[in-house]
Chain A
C-alpha cells in the first residue's frame, strides 16, 4: 500500500510540474532559512556551554545605589570573589577574576604586536573554565607572577612555529611574561574571549601584598574586575544570596555608609550572560530579542510555505477528485485516503528538505559573512540539531498535508465521479492568502523601519562634527609627554586644520564620579556625573556648540583651577535650568592630581552624543586638564587624505617610535556602535525578501488555479465581447481585495513589534503611516504583477478551446 502511495505521489509530482515546483521551492526556501536561523539561534543559545562546569558557574555583578540613583555593572570589586569563598565555604568552591590588561604591546626580538584582548586572570581560570591545553599543563599555569597563557593563534602570530613554552614575552612597559601554556583558541561562543591571560598574582607587586589580599571595606568600592564563582557539588546560589545581608553588613556597609551609597550583589548563571545581560562596563553581548525575532521569522517562512502547499493541494482537488472517488468505490476508507495525502505532503516536504540541506551548504558561507558568524552545519557533530530539523520538516509536512487530506478524503464518490465537484467557495484559501500577505506586509514594514532607523543612526546630528576627524591614541608614556610638540608638528601640515586632546573619545565610554554641586537654595548636594578631560582646543576641534557662556581660554590660567564646562543635560538634571553660569561644582572624592577642585560653571555645551544612540544623553562635565591626554583628535581636510595620513605616520614614528602607528576615523569608530544592528538589519532584509518571494510563489500558483477554474466564465465573457484588460481586471480584483485586507491585520501587529524594537534606542525614527502605506503598496504591486502574469495568459486563451472542453 505504501508503495502505491509513493508511486502515485511521485507520478503526481512529475505530472504537475508547475505546482510541484512552486511547492517544493517555497518549502525548500523556508526550510533553508529555518536551518540558517536555527544555526544562528543555536549558536546564540550555546554561549559558554562548552565549559564543563557552566551550570555551577555564576558571574558576579554590581548594583550600586548612590543618591537614590541605581547603576548596574558587569564589573565587580577585587576582593568580592575571595570574600564570598571565605564566608560561604559550603556553597562557593572557587572564584576567578579577570582584569583587562591595558596597553599591550608584545615584543619578541624585533617583532611588535599590539593586542587588545588580553586579561589578567586568577590561576583558578583552569579550575572553573574548560580550555584545552595544546602545550603546557593547566596545573599551575598561572600560579606565579609574570606567567602567561596564549591562545594557539596568538602564539602562532608571535612565535610562528617555534615552541613558545618557557619563552619570555615583553610588554611595552618592561614587564615580561613567561609563557607557561598554549590553549586552543577561545571559541566564538564565549562571552569573554581573550588572546592571552597573564597571572593575576603579577599585580601583587603593584598593589603591594597587603592591598592585594585586603578584604577591607574600601576595597569593595572600586569595580574593574569580571568575577566568577563556581559552586560546590552541593552548593546553592540561593544560600549565597540569602546570606548576603550579613555579608554586606560585615564587608561593604562600613564604607558605603560614609559615602551614602549601597551595594547590592547580583549573580547571573554563566550561560545566561550572553543573551540576558544589559549592564554597564559589560563585554559585547547578544540580545535575546534577536533570537526571538529570528525564530518568529523562521516560523513565518515555514508557515507561508505550508500555506502554499495547502492552497495548491486543495486548488488542484478537481484533478484528484476522480481518483478519490474511485478509490472510495473500490473500498478505500477515509483514513486510507488521509494517510495517502499526508504521505504525499511528507514526500514533498522531504524532497524540499533535501534541497534545503544542499542550499544550506551553498549559502552558509554567505550567511556567515552577512551575520558575522562562524557557523557550520555538520550532521555528525550536530545530530540533535539535524534531528530537530527533520522533526520540523515532519511537522511542516503534517501541517500542510492535513487540511488537503481532510478536504480531499471527504469527497463523495457519487458526486465526484459524475464530475460534480462541490463548488467550494475557497473561503479558507482566501483566509490563508490573507495570512500570507499579512506576514509579508509585516516583514516589509519591518525591513523599511529597520533601514530607516539605521540611516537615522548614521545621519543624526550628534552635537559635534564626526566627519574628517582622525583619532590617534598615544599608548606610550614618553610619547604623551611630548604630545604638545607632536601636535605642533602635525599642525604644520596644510591639510591638518586643528588638533585637540581628550581622555576619551565619543563612543568609548567615560569616567563617572560623585560630584558636589550647588542647589538652587545655595546648599551643596552630591551626584554621580560623567566626566571627560579635555584640553583648550578639544571643544573647537569637535565643532561642539557652546550655547551659554564661553569656551576655555588658554590665556586665562585660572580656567584650569576654577572653571568647568557642562552639557545641557547636566544643567537640567542639577536643576539649574536657564541660569547655570557661575554655579559651583566640585569633586566629592579624590581624583588623582586634581583633587578637590572647586570650580564654577563658565559654559554650557549643546548636548552631544558621547554614547551610542541606544542611550539618552546623560549629564557630562568637560574638565580642563593640565596634563597631556592620550587621545588626539585631528580635524583634517578631506582632500589628499592618504598624503595627510602618511605625514602623520612619519611624525608619529619620530615622536612615538616604540608603538606601531595606528589611527581611526571618528565616524567609522562611531558606526561600530551600530554594527550589531547593521548586521541584524541586513539579515532581516534578506529573510523578508525570501518571505515575500515564497508568498508570491503561492499567489502565482493560486492565480493560475483561479484562472483555470474560471476558464469557462472567462471564455463566455470573451465570446460576449470582453476585452483582455477587462478580464485581467476581473481576475486581479479578487486578489487585490485580499492583499488590501491583509494590511488591516498586518499594520497593528507590525506597529506593536516595531515600537518594541525601537524602544531599544533612546533616539529612534518616528514610525510613520507613510511606511505602512508604502509597504501596502509594495505588497499590492508585487501581488498584482504576479497575478497579472497568469491572468493575461488566461485572458488570451482562445475561448472556443475552453468551451469545447467544457
Chain B
C-alpha cells in the first residue's frame, strides 16, 4: 500500500538546514499495523505527514497504492487524502465551535456525501465509538478519553484505507489508552491499514511491526507478530 524509495525531507530556514528524513525506505502492506518509534526529533511525525499527504518530500519517491505521489500538488494531495486517509492526533484536534456530531460529520461534507447518508454514517460510527449520547456536546464538555474517541470516529467515518495516528495515547490515562489501542486493533482486524507513532513500548506491542527511527534514518525494524495477507 505504501512504499518509499530514499525518502528525504529537509527543512530550510534562512540559517539552518535540518534533515528530518534521510533516505528512508519503508514499505507498508495493506492491512498491516505498523508502529513507528524513536526519540524526539528523529523524524517520526515528518514521516507520518509525508505518508499522510500533508507534506511533500524534498527528494525520493513515494508510492501510495502504486501511484507515485511525491510531486502531487496540494489540490491533488487533498483529493487523494480525503477519501483514503484518516488522522488521529495526540491533542485530538477537534474544532471547538462544532459539536461532536458536526466534528465527525466534517470529512463527509468535503467528500460531498448526501445529507441522509451522512446522518446514517455519523450515527453508526458514534454508536460504535460509544459516544452517541454526547453527539450534541461541544468538545470542551468531554473528557480526554471521550474527545479521542470522537477524533477516532472522525478519522474512520469515511472508511479510509489507511489510518495515521500520531502519538494518539499521549494525552490519555492508561485505561483510556488501552481502550483506544483496542479500538485501533479492531479497525485493523477489519482491514484498515494503520501506522502509529508512539513513545510507548507497551502500545507498540499492539502493532505487527515496529520501525525505529533515529536522526531521520531507519535503524531497526522488528516484527512482533506474524502478519499474513
Which A positions have Cβ atoms within 8 angstroms of B?
1, 4, 7-8, 11-12, 15, 322-323, 325-334, 336, 412-414, 417-418
Contact = CB atoms under 8 A, between A and B. Distances in A.
Given A322-B95, A323-B95, A414-B49, A329 B102 contact: no
B27 to A, nearest CB: 23
B74 A329 contact: no
A319 to B, nearest CB: 9
B89 interface: yes
Contacts of A332: 78, 110
B12 interface: no
A418 B96 CA distance: 16
A417 B49 CA distance: 11
Contacts of B105: 4
A326 B147 CA distance: 15
Given A8-B98, A417-B89, A333 B54 contact: no
Interface in B42-74: 45, 49, 52, 54-55, 74
A329 B75 contact: no
Interface string B9-49: 00000000000000000000000000000000000010001
A11 B97 CA distance: 6
- For the complex of A and B, 8 pairs with smallest distance between CB atoms: A331-B82, A331-B110, A330-B107, A11-B97, A414-B49, A414-B54, A323-B95, A8-B97
B111 A414 contact: no
A329 B74 CA distance: 11
19 contacts: A1-B109, A4-B106, A7-B97, A7-B98, A15-B97, A327-B106, A327-B110, A329-B54, A331-B78, A331-B83, A332-B78, A333-B110, A334-B74, A412-B55, A414-B49, A414-B54, A417-B89, A417-B91, A418-B45
B110 A330 contact: yes
B149 interface: no
Contacts of B97: 7-8, 11-12, 15, 323
A354 to B, nearest CB: 22
A242 to B, nearest CB: 64
Contacts of B96: 323
B93 A331 contact: no
Is chain A's binding surface mostly helix, strand, loop or mixed? helix
Contacts of B102: 4, 7
B44 to A, nearest CB: 13
Q: Which of A12, A331, A418 has the most CB of B within 10 A?
A: A331
Interface in B74-122: 74-75, 78-79, 81-83, 87, 89, 91, 93-98, 102, 105-107, 109-111
Nearest to A12: B97
Contact of A413 (B54, B95, B110): B54
B209 interface: no
Nearest to A11: B97
A302 B170 CA distance: 49
Given A414-B49, A417-B93, A330 B54 contact: no
A333 B75 contact: yes
A327 B102 CA distance: 12
A4 B45 CA distance: 30
A326 B78 contact: no
Interface of B: 45, 49, 52, 54-55, 74-75, 78-79, 81-83, 87, 89, 91, 93-98, 102, 105-107, 109-111, 154
Contacts of A412: 55
B134 to A, nearest CB: 18
Contacts of B55: 412, 414
B179 to A, nearest CB: 23
Contacts of B81: 329, 331
A8 B75 CA distance: 24
A12 B98 CA distance: 10
B49 to A, nearest CB: 5
A323 B103 CA distance: 10
Given A12-B97, A325-B93, A332-B78, 19 more contacts: A4-B105, A4-B106, A11-B98, A15-B97, A323-B97, A326-B94, A326-B95, A327-B106, A327-B110, A329-B81, A330-B82, A331-B78, A331-B81, A333-B75, A333-B79, A333-B110, A336-B110, A417-B89, A417-B91
Contacts of A326: 93-95, 106
Given A4-B102, A414-B54, A417-B89, A331 B95 contact: no
Nearest to B83: A331
Contacts of B74: 334
Contacts of B111: 331
B83 to A, nearest CB: 8
Contacts of A323: 95-97
Contacts of A330: 82, 87, 106-107, 110, 154
A162 to B, nearest CB: 70
A4 B108 CA distance: 12
A462 to B, nearest CB: 67
Q: Which of B55, B93, B98 has the most CB of A within 10 A?
A: B93
B61 to A, nearest CB: 20
A15 B138 CA distance: 13
Nearest to B105: A4
Given A329-B54, A333-B75, A334-B74, A322 B93 contact: yes
Contacts of B78: 328, 331-333
A390 B43 CA distance: 53
B98 to A, nearest CB: 7
B79 to A, nearest CB: 8
Contacts of B109: 1, 4
A564 B28 CA distance: 115
Contacts of B93: 322, 325-326, 329, 417
Contact of B87 (A12, A329, A334, A336): A329
Contact of A331 (B45, B89, B107): B107
B112 to A, nearest CB: 8
A412 B54 CA distance: 8
Contacts of B110: 327, 330-333, 336
Nearest to B75: A333
Nearest to B115: A3
A414 B91 CA distance: 13
